[in-house]
Structure 1
Amino acid sequence: MHPQAATLWRYPHWTLAVLLAGLGMIGPFSIDTYLPAFEGIARSTGATPVQLQQTLSSYLLGFAVMNLFHGALSDCFGRRPVVLGGMALFTLASVGCALSQQIETLILFRALQGVSAGAGMVVSRAVIRDLFPPSEAQRVMSQVTIFFGVAPAIAPLVGGYLYVHADWHAIFWFLAGVGLLLLTINWRLLPESLPPESVQPFAVKPLMRGYSGLLRNPRFLLLVLASGIPFNGMFLYVLAAPTFLGQHLGFAPTQYFWFFLCTIGGIMGGAALSGRLAGRIKPHVQIRRGFSIMVAATLLNLLLNLLLPGHEVWSLPLIGLFSLGWALMVPVVTLMVLDQAPDRRGMASSLQSAIAAGANALVAGALVPLVMHSLIGLALTSAGFMLVGLVAWRTVRRALPVSPDA
């Protein structure tokens, strides 16, 4: 923790959570807002379905690669400069997307959006751990998740409205405005939370050695898999939303927000519950409850997809329930991940985010095109992601106890 942590942020903790949630929401907001406009982008640019999917996978690939460096840069230059630089680049990349007339240009600027969007999410985690002890950090992390959930819930509604009443370019002008607003607010309010004694020199070779050391740490890897991979059980449906909602469930673009209300409502509910449980029950009990909810939602989703035609009455609530289980356990596991490198939390957060984003990019570029045309395929793939996370957590819990009180 920063030795002057109590004086760096004099406002209520929830206000810092709102500030950091604004940074964290840029990533999913950049995805959810433009999904309703896929059909319009295809007509305008003559893009094929594969090229449209590349606007997602290029974003996620840039997000994954640069996440390896956001945290390390913040360990060297400070949290504040990295956040402000990321928001500035995101704003410029969004302008580039808005001005794009060809699909190749859009793919390029989407990759630049991905390169910059992760800065806020990665660094915000380190800021929380810089300023708060473990139990309070869990509460603030949960509050961040709650506020973070508001934006993706309204993103497809905003995107659908802009697409219907203007065109798809207006969506990226809107994102540019969001980036500029966040840049301005954080310029005025975000404190520098990196303790002076924790400043690390930035050099690629030592950084790679640090990453190599973390990658050889079984506890770190298993915790990263437990926290990040199950997220794809829900995110798979987000990436497949134009097909899942438009073709399988028959939704119009302006109706996509019902899906996101369920998923983000689940995330917000799970995060709120996680914050209330912080310090009241043992971490491993909270994690077990989260996985139990995900297992129940997954099995029911599989059963209903095998027996019944797809219907929003049960499909959307089950995805929301799965999201609730994930959000209940992930703040606890994320803090465990960061504490694997207490002197380089920025680096640990970077590697965690890079692994998760790399998995997201693989899902977007390879798995979604293979399974999005089958509801059973989507359900089975979602179950596979949940199972990977469950096995990872059971392994680290059984073979490598996280701590005596965990």
Structure 2
Amino acid sequence: MMTGAKSVCASHHGALDPQRRTAWPLETSPHPMQLTISPDNPLEWIALRANMVPVPLLHAQIMPVISKAVLEAADKGVFDAVAEGHITTDAIAQHCKLNPKATGELLGLLTALDYFEYHDGRFTLTRMARKWTLKHEPESVYGMMLFNNRVMWPWLDKLGTYLETGEGIHYHDHLNPEQWNYYQQAMVAASGSEAKEFGRRAPVPKALRREQRTQMLDIGGSHGQHSVALCKRYAGLASTIIDLPAAIEQAAPLLARLGMGDRVRHVPGNALTDDFGEAQYDLVLMSSLAHHFTPDQNRDVARRVAQALKPGGIYIVNEFIRPETGASPELVGSSTDLFYGLTSTAGNYSIAEIQSWQRDADLRTGKVVTYRTMPGRAMVIGAKP
């Protein structure tokens, strides 16, 4: 009961923060996607309602096995093997140099999770698996799965220590060149679909909409997917990506293959210490970086961004959002909050906290754009008067 593919599924709840009032409209779905345990039939629904289902047992026993199985399948090349025509258990095991019995157990679980379909002794990839797991598919999350399996997974052993001390791992300080490469590949994988939506929906200043020549600063943008998405949409836009030298070393080839030439370029630097200049930029983006900084550091970045913006310029903080206390549950924002607390410096912030940094920098706040393709994530907008 409730241990198959439907045990963890998409469901819907209320808005992240129904009490928030903004000067600009909140662009969001009224029913953000959630991951929940859902019943397959009326009897299971009754059992859930009557608190007869040991939900913590599913969390403690089933879900860790599911996560590790998916990561190992990607790492061992199982998904690509099936795509290449190795479609029986023995053929997959032989191609991937795995034990046939263990491979059969793995394939059974992945079939229950809707990665494979099984007919007459043969496995085929589902539409979902073909798009998201294959190494060379444009929107594949393979890079993230490889990073999580080879680099991130051991970090979870330190969660107990983090809960006792509050001291995170600060992983950016300890990655070796190989791990930096895995990290950059993971960031590309994590950002692929989001960057496309960012390019379509990100608010931009009037000068950009009028196709005038405009300048963008992408703080910590490494792989450049967000900058590229906007530059492809607006011919007059050029973007400068500032990032740590070690990040640029691994990210430069990833940016180069996007073919944007001099319109999107890297500049080595440090978001915590660099002067961004004065009235130089029409648009500044800081994506997936605020959760690495303390509140005071984020407030200081916002101050320097405001100084660097031209009048009418826009500052976008693109982040996973920690739900407000008492708001509807949001599993992605809450889980990444704990994860970033463990692995970095701070964790996620609420929309109200992000807006407070922008207001302290004398930016006008209000507009929040929540992603349709990425639950728990939003663009928080500040504008220079």
Q: Decide: shared fold, TM above 0.5.
A: no
More helix by share: 1
Structure with the greater alpha carbon radius of gyration: 2
More strand by share: 2
Q: TM-score, normalised to structure 2's length?
A: 0.22
RCO greater where, 1 or 2, for CA within 8 Å and sep 6 or more? 1
